């Protein structure tokens, strides 16, 4: 990866809707070079995809909650059943298998406290769940994507 690749990655992170001509201007290279580089970065898994960032608050989900989930057992079947079930919960934005005191850290969104109460009941009934511990976010301090360096 060279400086042009890094400029290209940063440009796509800033606005992935730019044309090849716009990207080539920003990276000081030809549009054909940009196209080849993008293809290589995609094939190498550096660029994993292109998406629109949708604000949960813009859709009425004003509250972010982080839920620590402890399962009754940590065998493969229990974990697989929980992971399959959590993937089907629409308000779950991310789920991480963790080391330490709990098994999973789940980020969910809710419209309000009543909405979260219903979601909490649903989460507590997922396969293998022994305990939930919720922490309500006050505000997001920082969010960013990884910035490549050369």
Would you kindly state where each structural domain of the chain is located, as residue ranges?
3-43, 57-136
> Average pLDDT in the 129-146 region?
95
Distance CA 8, CA 41 (A): 10
Q: What confidence tier does 123 reach under pLDDT thresholds 50, 70, 90?
A: very high
In this structure, the number of other CB atoms found within 10 A of the CB of residue 103 comes to 23
3-state secondary structure of 80: helix
Instruction: Please determine, for residue 52, whether its predicted confidence score (pLDDT) is greater than 90.
Output: no
Instruction: Tell me the pLDDT band of 147, cut-offs 50, 70 and 90.
Output: confident
Instruction: Say which residues have a Cβ less than 8 Å from residue 101's Cβ, sequence separation at least 6.
Output: 68, 70
pLDDT reading at 134 higher than 80: yes
pLDDT score of 61: 97
C-beta neighbour count of 34 within 10 angstroms: 24
CB of 4 closer than 8 Å to CB of 37: yes
**Architecture in CATH for domain 57-136:** 2-Layer Sandwich (3.30)
- Calpha distance 82→126 (Å, rounded): 6
The mean of the pLDDT values for the chain is 96
Separation between Cα atoms, residue 70 and residue 3, nearest integer Å:
44
Chain Cα centroid distance, residue 94: 6
- Topology of domain 3-43 in CATH is Arc Repressor Mutant, subunit A (1.10.10)
């Amino acid at each position: 990866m060279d400086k042009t690749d890094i400029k290209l990655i940063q440009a796509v992170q800033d606005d992935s809707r730019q044309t090849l001509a716009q990207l080539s201007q920003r990276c000081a290279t030809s549009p054909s070079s940009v196209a080849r580089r993008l293809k290589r970065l995609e094939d190498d898994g550096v660029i994993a995809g292109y998406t629109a960032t949708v604000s949960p608050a813009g859709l009425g989900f004003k509250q972010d909650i982080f839920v620590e989930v402890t399962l009754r057992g940590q065998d493969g079947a229990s974990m697989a059943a929980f992971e399959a079930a959590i993937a089907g919960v629409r308000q779950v934005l991310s789920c991480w298998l963790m080391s330490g005191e709990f098994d999973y850290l789940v980020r969910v969104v809710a419209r309000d406290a009543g909405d979260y109460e219903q979601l909490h009941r649903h989460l507590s009934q997922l396969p293998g769940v022994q305990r939930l511990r919720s922490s309500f976010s006050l505000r997001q301090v920082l969010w960013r994507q990884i910035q490549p360096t050369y």
